[in-house]
């Protein structure tokens, strides 16, 4: 059963929803999102494609609580987030974020970087450590736990960022060009790992990417152009 | 643990800047501790002079400084004769100067005064005190800095006096002072028939209230206060205490500005890092707690370093011969506690604006920040 059918049938739970979302910058002179309507259901992998500046990252930022819309409604796991002041802490258990640049803290070790979300969420040390071991085993980083970020390769850094994003067992993973800064081989490896992790963890993935080959491997491919969603199709 | 590491990592990252902030707080704490301790010690010594074998002090009402107080001899005699009074000792305070020594405190006392009776006489005999008008007894330190010995003649103020004894007391003021017969002091300071205060010992301490009321009724121009009341209300002591805390407070404000500067720089240089923490679920309150945590660490380190520096400074001052007996290095725990608390409050106040700024950082914009 493809995802579009699933949505249409209403059998699967909608975990991300945007209704008539508008977003502009520079006091309204640059409108990035122009009435976006979007839904993603539980367990789906969605690729957001489109040219630079079409609004992919902005939409992810809005879903992740990094920014707020000018108007329209956004809900994450049935939580209407645009009404909350501290959306980032509200979403700490719901959403994990992976960026093009890994955004790790260089003075901390791999393990410490991964544990940051658990500190924020107040998860006890033992549980956090167990989860860290589980994820670093899965991503092949267990031998690098105590290494500082500067000592890691680009691929290892992005795998670390992936582990960090999944530490609090979020239901949704938002990835903004997660392989954009990597070479082709590393890019493929990371993407395989990403798909594998979201499948085993039962996470919904929404990924902004320019890479059509990677996008094709998601359940669903959503085209964005000029601040609007133009089409939605099954990638496979 | 990670939270603490985040706090410490940033301080380690900019070691010099952190050290300067710690040093700023440390110097402020040391200055406050030193000034407050010295002045409190001085107050303690002065009140010790007044409370020597007495529990009540009688002096002229509404004078701001005991050196200007005038208590007539008639009052001394009458008060001494009251049945409830065990003894009443008149003391006349005066200040003179001599070559190289701008301030020498003179005490005009009677032969039976507790200061003369209870001191350790290094040279001379107590029984010879007040037999001649030009006789003086010197405190040990006064004898030292005046270069005087038993039997020598020393110029003090506009007169020359014959040293008939040298005594040692624990009180710095007394140890650096000159004891004259009361009548000589009255003549020397042009205060015939007057004393500055009467120090009174009662037969029964419970009579203190009756005694004070009797003085009030009998002598409208005089006031009697118990030692503790006097220490609390004497305007000179209050001015000294206020000055000490004000000087220290100014130091701490400067230290606080240093912390504020450090914390502002700390926030500005890691806007991106704060955004990363926000994206990973840190609430704005957790970010603020991290900034306050940093300033608390700086303040605590500064306070500890300041307490050590201040204590060392006081010990060094105590070793300076010219200050011997004047500096009391006994640091009161309450002073220590107040100083540390003030340092913490200063540090936290210094981190207030940086914390608010950090709380308001917009993650989406900050992640673009290089």
Chain-chain contact of B281 with A108 (C-beta, under 8 angstroms): no
Higher pLDDT, B369 or A43: A43
Q: Which domain holds residue B265?
A: 2-46+237-366
Q: Is A79 on the interface with B (CB under 8 A)?
A: no
Smallest Cβ distance to B279: which of A66, A108, A125? A66
- Answer whether residue A78 shows pLDDT above 90: no
pLDDT of residue A5: 37
Cα B263 to Cα A153, B15, B304, B363: the distances in Å are: 32, 13, 20, 19
In angstroms, the CA B117 to CA B126 distance is: 7
Q: Are residues B80 and B208 in the same domain?
A: yes
Q: Is A11 on the interface with B (CB under 8 A)?
A: no
Q: Are residues B271 and B342 in the same domain?
A: yes
Q: Is B73 exposed, middle or buried (0-12, 13-18, 19+ CB in 10 A)?
A: middle
Q: Are residues B7 and B68 in the same domain?
A: no
Q: Is A120 on the interface with B (CB under 8 A)?
A: yes
pLDDT of residue B117: 84
In a domain, B231, yes or no: no
pLDDT range class, residue B322, cuts 50, 70, 90: low
Q: Is B286 on the interface with A (CB under 8 A)?
A: yes
Kindly report, residue by residue over A190-230, the tens digit of the pLDDT. 888 888 888 888 899 999 998 888 888 888 999 998 889 88
Chain-chain contact of A66 with B364 (C-beta, under 8 angstroms): yes
Chain-chain contact of B283 with A86 (C-beta, under 8 angstroms): yes
pTM of this prediction?
Answer: 0.73
In angstroms, the CA A50 to CA A231 distance is: 11
Beta pairing, strands A220-225 & A45-49: parallel
In this prediction, residues A144-154 reach a mean pLDDT of 90
- Answer whether residue B246 shows pLDDT above 70: yes
> How many CB contacts within 8 angstroms connect chain A with chain B?
67
Tell me, what DSSP letter sits at residue A188? H
Q: Is B293 on the interface with A (CB under 8 A)?
A: no
Q: Are residues B255 and B216 in the same domain?
A: no
Q: Are residues B179 and B111 in the same domain?
A: yes
Q: Which of residues 343-362 of B touch A (CB under 8 A)?
A: 362
In angstroms, the CA B135 to CA B179 distance is: 9
Residue at a domain's end among B159, B187, B220? B220
In this prediction, residues A89-115 reach a mean pLDDT of 86
Kindly report, residue by residue over B27-58, the tens digit of the pLDDT. 888 888 888 888 877 777 777 777 778 889 99
Q: Are residues B72 and B42 in the same domain?
A: no
- Answer whether residue B143 shows pLDDT above 80: yes
- Answer whether residue B166 shows pLDDT above 90: yes
In a domain, B228, yes or no: no
pLDDT range class, residue A236, cuts 50, 70, 90: very low
Q: Are residues B78 and B37 in the same domain?
A: no
Q: Are residues B210 and B242 in the same domain?
A: no
Smallest Cβ distance to B2: which of A97, A99, A119? A119
pLDDT range class, residue A4, cuts 50, 70, 90: very low
Q: Are residues B208 and B245 in the same domain?
A: no
- Answer whether residue A88 shows pLDDT above 50: yes
Give the per-residue SS3 of chain B.
CHHHHHHHHHHHHCHHHHHHHHHHHHHHHHHHHHHHHHHHHHHHHHHHHHCCCCCEEEEECCCCCHHHCCEEHHHHHHHHHCCCEEEEEEEEEEEEEECCEEEEEEEEECCCCHHHHHCEEEEECHHHCCCCCCEEEEEHHHHHHHCCCCCCEEEECCEEEEEEEEEECCCHHHHCCEEEEHHHHHHHCCCCCEECEEEEEECCHHHHHHHHHHHHHHCCCEEEEEHHHHHHHCHHHHHHHHHHHHHHHHHHHHHHHHHHHHHHHHHHCCHHHHHHHHHCCCCHHHHHHHHHHHHHHHHHHHHHHHHHHHHHHHHHHHHCHHHCCCCCCCCCHHHHHHHHHHHHHHHHHHCHHHHHHHHCCCHHHHCCCC
**What backbone phi and psi angles, to 5 degrees, belong to B104?**
-130, 125
pLDDT of residue A89: 67
Smallest Cβ distance to A117: which of B280, B284, B363? B280
In this prediction, residues B302-321 reach a mean pLDDT of 87
- Answer whether residue B71 shows pLDDT above 90: yes
Residue at a domain's end among B187, B220, B253? B220
Determine contact, residues B124/B137, Cβ cutoff 8 Å. Answer: yes
pLDDT range class, residue A1, cuts 50, 70, 90: very low
Write out the H or E segment, with its range, that includes residue A161: helix A154-166
Chain-chain contact of A88 with B279 (C-beta, under 8 angstroms): yes
How many alpha carbons fall within 13 Å on the CB side of residue A63?
Answer: 36
Tokens linked to B108: 């005009």
Q: Is B368 on the interface with A (CB under 8 A)?
A: no
Architecture per CATH, domain A3-234, reads as: 3-Layer(aba) Sandwich (3.40)
pLDDT range class, residue B254, cuts 50, 70, 90: confident
Q: Are residues B144 and B19 in the same domain?
A: no
Q: Are residues B88 and B211 in the same domain?
A: yes
pLDDT of residue A6: 39
- Answer whether residue A235 shows pLDDT above 80: no
Smallest Cβ distance to A112: which of B2, B272, B276? B2
Report percent pLDDT > 90 for chain A: 32
pLDDT of residue A37: 92
Q: Is A78 on the interface with B (CB under 8 A)?
A: no
In a domain, B51, yes or no: no
Chain-chain contact of A120 with B282 (C-beta, under 8 angstroms): yes
Tokens linked to A155: 């691929």
The lowest-confidence range among B119-133, B250-264, B344-358 is B250-264
pLDDT of residue B262: 80
In this prediction, residues B295-305 reach a mean pLDDT of 91
- Contact list, B273 vs chain A (CB under 8 Å): 105
In this prediction, residues B326-349 reach a mean pLDDT of 81
Residue at a domain's end among B158, B192, B220? B220
In angstroms, the CA A77 to CA B56 distance is: 78
Residue B132 CB partners (closer than 8 Å, separation 6+)? B162, B164
In this prediction, residues A128-141 reach a mean pLDDT of 92
Instruction: Give the residue on A whose Cα is nearest the Cα of B14.
Output: A107
In this prediction, residues B301-313 reach a mean pLDDT of 91
Q: Is A145 on the interface with B (CB under 8 A)?
A: no
pLDDT of residue B69: 92
User: How many domains is chain B partitioned into structurally?
Assistant: 2
Q: Are residues B149 and B31 in the same domain?
A: no
DSSP per-residue letters across A136-153: HHHHT-GGGTTSBGGGS-
Determine contact, residues B200/B224, Cβ cutoff 8 Å. Answer: yes
The residue whose two tokens read 């390769």 is A153
Q: Is A117 on the interface with B (CB under 8 A)?
A: yes
pLDDT of residue B119: 86
């Amino acid at each position: 059963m493809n995802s579009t059918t699933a949505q249409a049938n209403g059998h699967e739970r909608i975990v991300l929803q945007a209704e008539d979302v508008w977003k502009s910058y520079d006091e309204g002179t640059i409108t990035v999102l122009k009435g976006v309507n979007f839904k993603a259901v539980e367990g789906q992998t969605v690729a957001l494609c489109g040219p630079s500046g079409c609004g992919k990252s902005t939409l992810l930022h809005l879903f992740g609580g990094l920014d707020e819309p000018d108007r329209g409604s956004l809900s994450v796991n049935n939580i209407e987030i645009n009404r909350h002041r501290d959306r980032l802490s509200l979403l700490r258990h719901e959403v994990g974020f992976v960026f093009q640049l890994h955004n790790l803290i260089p003075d901390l070790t791999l393990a410490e970087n991964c544990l940051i979300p658990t500190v924020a969420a107040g998860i006890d040390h033992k549980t956090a450590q167990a989860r860290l071991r589980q994820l670093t085993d899965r991503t092949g980083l267990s031998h690098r736990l105590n290494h500082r970020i500067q000592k890691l390769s680009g691929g290892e850094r992005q795998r670390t960022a992936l582990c960090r994003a999944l530490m609090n067992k979020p239901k949704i993973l938002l990835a903004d060009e997660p392989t954009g800064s990597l070479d082709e081989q590393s890019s493929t490896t990371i993407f395989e790992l990403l798909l594998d992790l979201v499948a085993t963890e039962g996470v919904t993935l929404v990924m902004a990417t320019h890479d059509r080959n990677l996008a094709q491997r998601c359940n669903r491919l959503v085209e964005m152009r000029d601040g609007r969603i133009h089409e939605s199709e099954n990638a496979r | 643990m990670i939270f603490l590491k985040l706090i410490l990592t940033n301080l380690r990252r900019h070691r010099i800047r952190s050290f300067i902030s710690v040093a700023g707080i440390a110097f402020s704490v040391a200055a406050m501790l030193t000034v407050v301790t010295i002045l409190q010690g001085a107050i303690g010594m002065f009140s010790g002079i007044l409370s020597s074998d007495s529990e009540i002090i009688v002096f002229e009402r509404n004078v701001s400084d005991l050196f200007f107080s005038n208590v007539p001899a008639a009052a001394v005699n009458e008060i001494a004769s009251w049945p409830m009074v065990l003894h009443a000792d008149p003391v006349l305070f005066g200040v003179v100067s001599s070559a190289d020594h701008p301030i020498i405190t003179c005490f005009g006392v009677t032969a039976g005064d507790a200061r003369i009776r209870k001191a350790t006489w290094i040279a001379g005999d107590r029984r010879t005190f007040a037999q001649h008008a030009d006789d003086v007894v010197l405190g040990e330190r006064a004898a030292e800095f005046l270069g005087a010995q038993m039997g020598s003649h020393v110029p003090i103020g506009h007169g020359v006096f014959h040293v008939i004894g040298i005594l040692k007391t624990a009180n710095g003021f007394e140890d650096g002072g000159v004891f004259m017969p009361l009548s000589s002091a009255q003549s020397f300071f042009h205060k015939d028939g007057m004393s500055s205060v009467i120090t009174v010992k009662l037969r029964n301490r419970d009579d203190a209230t009756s005694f004070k009321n009797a003085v009030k009724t009998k002598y409208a121009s005089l006031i009697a206060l118990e030692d503790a009341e006097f220490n609390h209300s004497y305007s000179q002591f209050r001015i000294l205490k206020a000055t000490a805390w004000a000087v220290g407070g100014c130091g701490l404000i400067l230290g606080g500005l240093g912390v504020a500067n450090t914390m502002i720089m700390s926030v500005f240089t890691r806007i991106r890092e704060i955004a990363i923490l926000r994206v990973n679920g840190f609430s704005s309150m957790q970010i603020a707690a991290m900034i306050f945590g940093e300033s608390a660490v700086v303040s605590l380190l500064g306070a500890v370093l300041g307490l050590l520096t201040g204590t060392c400074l006081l010990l060094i001052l105590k070793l300076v011969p010219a200050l011997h007996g004047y500096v009391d290095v006994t640091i009161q725990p309450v002073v220590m506690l107040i100083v540390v608390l003030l340092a913490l409050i200063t540090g936290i106040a210094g981190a207030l604006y940086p914390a608010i700024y950090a709380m308001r950082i917009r993650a989406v914009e900050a992640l673009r920040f290089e």
